[in-house]
Amino acid sequence: MNRTISRAGLAAVVAAAVIAGAWARSGSGTVTAQAVLTGLLLGGVYALVAMGLTLIFGVLDIVNFAHGAFMTLGMYATALLASSAGLNPYLTLLVSVPLLFGVGYVVQRHMVSRTMGGSLAAQLLLTLGIAMLLENSLLLAFSGDTRTVPVSFDTPLRVLGAVADLSRVLAFVGAMSLAGAVWLLLTRTRLGTAIRAVAANPEGASLVGLDVRRLHALTFAAGTACAGAAGTLVTPLVTVEPTAGELFNIIGFVVVVLGGLGSVPGAVAGGLIIGLTEQLGGLYLPGQSPLLVVFGVFVLVLLWRPQGLFGRPA
Amino acid sequence: MRLKSCIAIGTFLALTVTACGGSAPGGGAPDAADASGTIKIGSIHPLTGALAFDGQQMSKAVKLAAEEINNAGGIKSLGGAKLEILGADSQGKPEVGQSEAQRLTQAGAVALVGPYQSAVAAQVATVAERNKVPFVIDVASADDILKQGYTYTFRLQPSSDTLGRYGARYLKELADRTGQKVTKVAYLHEQTDYGTSTFKSFSDEAAKLGLEVGPQITYDALKASDLTTELTKVKAAGVDALAVTGYYRDGLLTAKAIASVQPEVKIVLGVSHGAFSSPVFPRDGGAVAEGIYDSNFNYDATKPESKAVLDAFQAKHGEELRFIPFTSYECVRLIAAALEKAASRDPVKIREALAGISFETVLAFDGPVEFDESGQNKNATPVVLQVQDGKVVPVHPAAKAVAEPRPAAE
C-alpha cells in the first residue's frame, strides 16, 4: 500500500515537472493547458484501443494485427447506421459492440484457433491476412470515398483557456466507463476469474475443468467488441475510410506493452501516458514527429520495468 | 523483445507479400512499334490503399478520355488508330509502381500516365528513361523528380515550388482584394517533404512581398488525430492569416480545430492543400469548411469544355469528377495530341513531339501546355478556390473566377 502511494506521488511529481518544463518551453500557459487537455482526451482513446488488444494479447498470446481493421468495421457500422437510419452515433454502440463480438467469436473459433500454439509466423500471417481482407472488402463494398459522422449537439467546451469538443470528451468518458466495465468483468465475475485462470495457466485451467477453447473464443470476442466500441466512439472525430483503423494499430501495441500485457489498468495508464507524451513532446521538440518522444519514453519505461507498468515479472 | 520482433517480422511480411503480388512475369517481346492495332497507353495509379478513391477516379478519367478520343475518330494522322488504356495498380508503393511500369512497357505501352505520389513518380521515371518511353506525370509535385536530367519524363501540374510561391502571392492579393490588412502569417504544415518544401517556397516569396511568416507549426499527418494544440499555438501567436499545407484527413482535423479554437485570423489559405479544394470537403466538413481558401491547380471553371467533361464523367460513373483526376484526363488528351503531331507510334518520336508541343488545355493555367528543359509544364499555375455555401468555387485571379472572394464573417 505504501509503495503504491509513493509511486503515485512520484508519478505526480514527474508529471508536474514535465508540465512546468513544457510551459517554460512554449512560453504560453494556454498552449500548455491545451496540450495537457488534448493529451488526456487522446490518451483515453488510445486506452480504449489498447484495452481489447491487451485482453487478446494477455490471454491468447496472439499479436492481433487485425485490431485496427476490426475498429474500422465498428466505424463503418456506426457511419452507415447514422447516415441511413439517422441514428445518434452513440446509440449505434448497441449494434457495433454485439456485431464485433460475433465477428470476433467466429474469427477465433474458425481461424485463429487453428494457429493456437503454432508458429508465430502463422499467427502473424493470419491476423495480417484478416486485416487486409477486411480493409479490401470495405474498399470493394463502400469504395475509398470518405465519410464523416457529425454530432449535431457537438460544441467546444472551455477549460482554463483550453478547448475540447464535446465529442472528444464523450469518447474519453466512454473509454473510461468501458475500462471500468472490463475491469469489473475480469475481477468480479466467474467468467472473468476463468479468463484470468486461462491466461495464467491454460493447462492447469483445463485440468480443473474449464473449457479453454470456449474461453479463448469469448476473450477474443470481448477484445474485438472493445475494438467495435472504440470504432464507434471515435467515429465523430475521424474520417471514416477503409484504412481508418490503421492509425491506431501501432500506438495500441505500444500502449499494451507499456502498461503490461493483459493488464486493463495498465492499458488505461499507458494510454494516458502516451497521449500526454505525444502532446507535451510536441512542445518540447517542435518539428519532430510526436512518435519520436513517444518511443523515447517507451524505451525508458521498459528499461526500468521490462514487464510494463502493471505487468507481473516473468 | 518478442513484440518488437513480431512487428518487424509482420511489417517485413506485409511488404514482401504485396511486392510479390505486384510483379508479373514479363512475357512477350516489346512490340511498341507495331504498325496495326490499338495504341497502348499505360495508366499507373493507386487503386487500393489509403488513396484508393482518388486513384480509381484517375483511372476512370484516363479511360473516359481515351473513349472520347476513339469516338471522335481516334488518331487521325495514324489512320484513325484507336487508343487502348492498360491499367495498373501502384498500391501507393514505389516498388510496385516501378514493377508495374516495367510490365506495361513490356506489354507495348508507348506512353505512361500517373501516378499521384511523388515517391512512386521517381521510380516510374527511372523505368521510363531506361525503356525510352515517355512518362507524363499528372499529379506528383515534388521538385526533385525532374531534377535528375531525365528526358522522357514530363509533368502537367505546377511544381511544388510554383505552388508555394503562388500561395504567398495570392495571399497578399486576396488580402488587398477583400480590403484586409495582413502582415503576419502563421504556417501550419504536415512534416514530410511535401509540407516542408511548399513552406520554404512560400516563405521565400512572402519575404519578397513584405509578409512576416511565423510561427511555423508542423504535425505528423499519418499519426495526427487531433490538431487542437497546434491551432492553439496559432491563436497564441496573434497572427493575421494562417496558411496550411496538408492531406485530406488531417485537413478536416485542421478545419475542425479552427472552428473550436477560433484563432481569430482574417484569412485561412491552403497552399496546394489536399482537402480544402476537394469537392467533398464541404460535405465532410459541413459548417467548419465554409470560407476556407485554397491555392491549387484546377480546371478552368469558366470554360464550357470543363463542364462537358464533368457532365460526361457524372453520366458515366454517377460521381463528381475531382480536379486531381481531371488532370489525368487532360494527360491522355495531351498524349493524343503528341501522337497526332508525331504521326508515329514510336515512343522516341512521341517524346520529341511532347518536348516541342504547345497544347491548349482546359486546366486553369497561365497559357498552353509547354514543357521546359526539365520536362516541367512552364505555364502551369494555381488558382484560388473558396468554400462558399457548401461548394468549392474559384474566386481568384478574376479572369478564371466564377465568384468574388468572401471575407470571413466577424
Average pLDDT by stretches of 10, chain B with 410 residues: 47 43 38 68 91 91 96 94 95 93 95 93 94 95 89 94 95 93 94 89 95 91 88 93 93 93 93 91 91 94 93 93 93 96 95 95 94 94 95 92 82
A314 pLDDT above the threshold of 70: no
Query: Which of B232, B235, B322 to mutate: most A Cβ within 10 Å?
Result: B232
Which stretches of chain A are DSSP H helices? 2-26, 29-60, 67-84, 93-110, 120-142, 166-188, 190-200, 202-207, 212-234, 246-259, 264-284, 290-304
Would you state the CATH architecture of domain B161-296+383-400?
Answer: 3-Layer(aba) Sandwich (3.40)
Domain count, chain A: 1
Whether B358 and chain A come into contact, CB under 8 Å, resolves to no
| H or E element that contains A86 | none
A158 part of a folded domain: yes
Q: Which residues in chain B are closer than 8 Å to A26, comparing Cβ atoms?
A: 233
Contact B199, B164 (CB under 8 A): yes
In 3D space, the residue among A153, A214, A174 whose CA is nearest the CA of residue A44 turns out to be A174
Q: Give me the pLDDT at residue A306, please.
A: 86
Q: Which residues in chain A are closer than 8 Å to B248, comparing Cβ atoms?
A: 146, 239
Q: Note which residues in 127-166 of chain A have CB less than 8 A from chain B.
A: 128, 136, 139, 143-148, 150, 156, 162-165
Whether A189 and chain B come into contact, CB under 8 Å, resolves to no
3 state DSSP class of B269: strand
Task: Tell if the CB–CB gap between A164 and B54 is shorter than 8 Å.
Answer: no
> pLDDT tens, A29-47?
888 999 999 999 999 999 9
Nearest neighbour of B284 by CB, restricted to A139, A148, A168: A148
What is the homologous superfamily of the domain B29-158+303-355 according to CATH?
Response regulator (3.40.50.2300)
- Complex-level ipTM: 0.83
A306 part of a folded domain: no
Bond before B115 cis per omega within 30 degrees: yes
Q: Report the percent of chain A where pLDDT is more than 90.
A: 49
Task: Please tell me the distance in Å from B376's CA to the nearest CA on chain A.
Answer: 30
Question: And the C-alpha cell for A63?
Answer: 499479436
3 state DSSP class of A27: coil
Q: Give me the pLDDT at residue B213, please.
A: 94
A262 part of a folded domain: yes
Identity of residue A166: L
The domain of A250 spans 49-271
d(CA B393, CA A131): 39
What does A128-193 look like in DSSP terms, one character per residue?
HHHHHHHHHHHHHHH-S--B----TT--EEEETTEEEEHHHHHHHHHHHHHHHHHHHHHHHSHHHH
Task: Tell if the CB–CB gap between B191 and A289 is shorter than 8 Å.
Answer: yes
d(CA B162, CA A24): 38
Contact B311, B338 (CB under 8 A): no
Q: Using pLDDT thresholds of 50, 70 and 90, give the confidence band for residue A6.
A: confident
Task: Tell if the CB–CB gap between B228 and A28 is shorter than 8 Å.
Answer: no
A286 part of a folded domain: no
A83 pLDDT above the threshold of 60: yes
Task: Tell if the CB–CB gap between B228 and A145 is shorter than 8 Å.
Answer: no
Q: Indicate where chain B has its CATH 3.40.50.2300 domain(s).
A: 29-158+303-355, 161-296+383-400
